[in-house]
Chains A and B, each alone.
Chain A
Amino acid sequence: MPSLPAFRLSIARHFSSSTSNLTSSQSHTHGNNHGIHPGSSEYVTLVSGDGFEFIVPRSTACVSGTIRRMLDPSSRFSEAVTGRCVLENMSGLVLEKVCEYLCYNLKNKNQTNVPDMDIPPELCLELLMAADYLDT
């Protein structure tokens, strides 16, 4: 995988020790909230089905239509209240690539001559499905 310094700066990566069980992962982060007030904070947490957490800026996450609605403060769902989105049906590998794309999209918005993003062929299909799911 090629190194992407800009992208790596903007996301922190946590290897959760817990299983992919949704409830246990939630309880884990509840106690370990990084001092960020949920709901309206600048950063949100995206969690993969197998327990990887990605903390990304809210604006980055909201590139995805699904996540944007998920986090919309006016809809009072649990994701909007906690600022934590568990994407049950996505593996950490795919979610990492997704996060990379979200950053890439936001960074190169409204620009011309954008460099291509590197997609490993073995992830193509899974990423396509994720894109459909996340409406990006």
Chain B
Amino acid sequence: MAMRARQKIRAPRKGLASSKGDDFEANWQALSGSLKRIHTKDASDLSFEQLYRNAYNIIVTMRGHDLYERVKQLEREWLETEVRSWVNAAISPSLLFAQDALDIQDQANERRAAGERFLTVLRETWEDHQLSMGMITDVLMYMDRVVVADHRKPSIYVASMALFRDIVLRSPVRPDTKTTVADVLESTVLFLVQLERSGQIIERPLIRHCIYMLEGLYETITEEESSKLYLTSFEPAFLEASKTFYQKEGQRLVESADAATFCKVAMERITEEKERCASTLSTLSESKIKEVLDNELIKRNIAEVVNLEGTGVRNMLDQDRLDILRSVYVLSSRVDSKKAPLTAVVQKCIVDMGQEINTLATAPAPAPEPTGKKAVKEKEKPMNQQTTSAIKWVDDILALKKKFDAIWVDSFMSDQVMQSAITTSFSDFINSNPRSSEHLSLFFDENLKKGIKGKTDSEVDSLLDNGITLLRYIKDKDLFEAYYKKHLSRRLLMKRSASMDAERQMISKMKMEVGNQFTQRLESMFKDMTISEDLTSNYKDHIRKSASQDSKPVDLEINVLTSTMWPMEIMSNTRDEVQLSCVFPREVESVKQSFEQFYLSKHSGRKLSWQASMGTADIRATFQRPNGKTQRHELNVSTYAMIILLLFNDVAPGESLTFAEIQSRTRIPDHDLIRNLQSLAVAPKTRVLKKEPMSREVKPTDRFFFNHEFQSQFTKVRIGVVSGSANKVENNDQRKETEKKMNEERGASIEAAVVRIMKQRKTLPHSKLMSEVLGQLSSRFVPDVNMIKRRIESLIDREYLERVGEDPPTYGYIA
């Protein structure tokens, strides 16, 4: 290293800048001539290196600052003398004065042609300037690096762009006006955009290039994004013009066109403006013009469009015009996340349609009822009609629901807000029908009995799911539970259910939907059924083992039901005060006693009460024909009918029993006895008994004979009991009964809830307590506020609660 350090460093041979010395003027002469040639596009035999070296020489001789100013001056002169005059020459008078001549076709065409000519010139001027300045900047790059950095000046390129802005764009077109080239550019572009909006084809690339120019020029030399000329001058004018245009357009459309056209035009305008920003103007404006559209065209008018008489949303819903609905939705959601007008109409529409279904289902009901009460025979038919109309109600609602689900998915893009709006409306009109719970339960009953036969699992599944969705809407779930329990118990005991699997499925679906508590009792009904099956077979074993020598043991199939879980009111007639159990015939009585023994030996401390009204019996009857032959039939009858028929075993042929006799010997409740006698003696196909006098009504004085001439082509005959065994719509009395029961049950639930809450909180103000009670119970039903108040009063009377304060009223819990 020491050796090398001593080596002599060769002095630069006069430096790189030596060749032409430091003659500033000479260098500048050479340079300025070349720069002009660059502007006149005559640069191909210029040597970059030479120019660069000229500039370099000037700068290394410390005259860089002068060079910068000279170049600027050169540019200014060039723009002022040459460029400005070209541009101004291209501006024809029509561009200057015909501002509002859009309506006159000739003038518009003329103005358009002049405008395009002007834009072309401007575009060329700009592009030339850009290109030349690019080249000049390259040549002067040494200056940019050294002088500009040292003196904190804008680069020569930026400076020349600012010159272009001021000298070309910002100068008056004519000495006598204030209008500048930029103003003419602005009005011309707006005019062309206006032409395009009214459907004409314009030369988009041309405009785009002029806009590029505005985007490439800045207000300040620091060139911030926000100081682009496009943003500072053109865009506000464009937005303002668009605003006026769309205000007018919106007004015109609402006044003259229908909703569908409005939506179509609006959608088209949206894509059109977007496209315009992409291909004609600047993407910078996209969001802003969107806002203008949203505010001026859509927001102002959407409510009116939605409610347009005859063509609005109402009409679209009626006619399933999903595509237009989708447009309406898209438009609404652009301006309002709640889509208030749209939801309002949809909700109203649903409620209206729902009310129609409601009235349809209830309309036939009031008419036949008065007659139905008078004549028992006529009761059958309207009741059935009501049942079908109940099921039709459910079907109609499901159809409506399906329709709106489809609309929701297709047109409302599965929007959350719309869904909750639709749900509320459904819930509203369903709950406005006081019988909705009953109808729905009947729907399930019908389907589980007959509807699902011959259907695949998935079909059954979707059917049940449909029902469950309706259940979701019902507020009084406890009422539904009561009906469902009643109908279910009939299905189970009468073995009318088509498929136990489906029943179980149904229960588990309800469990998922409404919760464990809801299905607990229903599940225990199923459990009782299974236990009873075991019990029956155990009992049969027991009988076989005890090997009694009775020649004809009676087969007993028994269902032991937990009394709290089953709806007892449908089995025992509650209207009778004290119910004496009916008298069973000897044969049956012994079986009954033997079973009681058997059962109590297994479960001590339980009480069995026999419910004859729900049972059935198979009996074999022998009919003596007059020709000496005997005909055997197996009769499947209700338990009561069996008891009645067995009475006739002890009656000599040809003798009779009166109604009163039968009643006293069997102690069957009046109501049931009448119905059973009707089915045995009046129903035409199953006339095992003869009645005197022969009439439809059963009177206490009627006499009954065993009918030996009973005819049937089948060996097995099923004798149903007239009415009562099938599930159908309740009549008014029954409904009152159910309501009364429901209210009692609700009262108990409310009291339980109140006590539960108070035990936990000790003291609580009235309003707080109310809201907590409502919250706890809302999953089952919507409690009546007055009822809660009454229940709280009664709890205070019974010293569960006390009043501890008056303002606000507060309660305390008494332990």
Contact = CB atoms under 8 A, between A and B. Distances in A.
Contacts, number: 82
A122 interface: yes
B50 interface: yes
A106 interface: no
A90 B43 contact: no
Interface residues of B, number: 32
B10 A78 contact: no
Contact of A122 (B7, B17, B45): B7
A81 B16 contact: no
B134 A87 contact: no
Contact of B46 (A78, A85, A86, A123): A78
B135 A77 contact: yes
Contacts of A81: 44
B50 A70 contact: no
Given A78-B45, A88-B19, A121 B141 contact: no
Contact of A89 (B8, B11, B16, B47): B16
Nearest to B131: A74
A75 B52 CA distance: 14
A77 B47 contact: yes
B319 interface: no
A69 B138 contact: yes
A69 B141 contact: yes
Contact of B138 (A49, A72, A78, A121): A72
A121 B9 CA distance: 6
Interface string B1-25: 0001101111111011111000000
B44 A77 contact: yes
B141 A122 contact: no
B690 to A, nearest CB: 115
A6 interface: no
Interface centre among B10, B47, B49, B141 (most CB of A within 10 A): B49
A75 B48 contact: yes
A69 B5 CA distance: 37
B43 A77 contact: yes
Contacts of B145: 135
A129 B48 contact: no
B44 A125 contact: no
A80 interface: yes
Given A77-B47, A89-B18, A129 B138 contact: no
Given A125-B11, A129-B15, A66 B44 contact: no
Contacts of A133: 16, 56, 142
Contacts of B19: 49, 88-89
Interface in B287-337: none
A53 interface: no
Determine which residue in B16, B17, B43 has the highest number of CB atoms from chain A within 10 A of its CB, and name it. Answer: B16
Q: State the majority secondary structure of interface residues on B.
A: helix
B53 interface: yes
A128 to B, nearest CB: 9
Contacts of B56: 133
Interface in A60-88: 65-66, 69-70, 72, 74-81, 85-88
B53 A79 contact: no
A103 B4 CA distance: 26
B53 A122 contact: no
B44 A121 contact: no
B135 A78 contact: no
A88 B141 contact: no
A135 B53 CA distance: 13
Given A121-B7, A123-B10, A76 B44 contact: yes
Nearest to B146: A132
A129 B43 contact: no
A130 interface: yes
B741 to A, nearest CB: 87
B53 A89 contact: yes
Contact of B48 (A80, A124, A130, A135): A80
Contact of A129 (B9, B12, B50): B12
Contacts of A122: 7-10
A135 B44 CA distance: 23
A82 to B, nearest CB: 10
A86 B7 contact: no
A126 interface: yes
A86 B15 CA distance: 17
A72 B480 CA distance: 85
A136 interface: no
Contacts of B47: 77-79, 86
A94 to B, nearest CB: 9
A126 to B, nearest CB: 5
A58 B426 CA distance: 76
A91 interface: yes
Nearest to B132: A75
Contact of A124 (B9, B13, B17, B45): B9
A24 to B, nearest CB: 15
B15 A75 contact: no
Given A77-B43, A89-B17, A121-B4, A126 B49 contact: no
Given A70-B138, A135-B141, 20 more contacts: A49-B19, A66-B52, A66-B141, A66-B142, A75-B43, A75-B48, A78-B45, A78-B47, A79-B48, A88-B53, A89-B16, A121-B7, A121-B9, A122-B7, A123-B10, A125-B9, A126-B12, A126-B13, A129-B15, A133-B142
Interface of A: 49, 65-66, 69-70, 72, 74-81, 85-91, 121-126, 129-130, 133, 135
Interface of B: 4-5, 7-13, 15-19, 43-50, 52-53, 56, 131, 134-135, 138, 141-142, 145
22 contacts: A69-B48, A69-B138, A75-B48, A75-B135, A76-B43, A77-B43, A77-B135, A78-B47, A85-B48, A85-B49, A86-B47, A88-B49, A89-B16, A89-B53, A122-B7, A123-B10, A124-B9, A125-B11, A129-B15, A129-B16, A130-B16, A135-B141
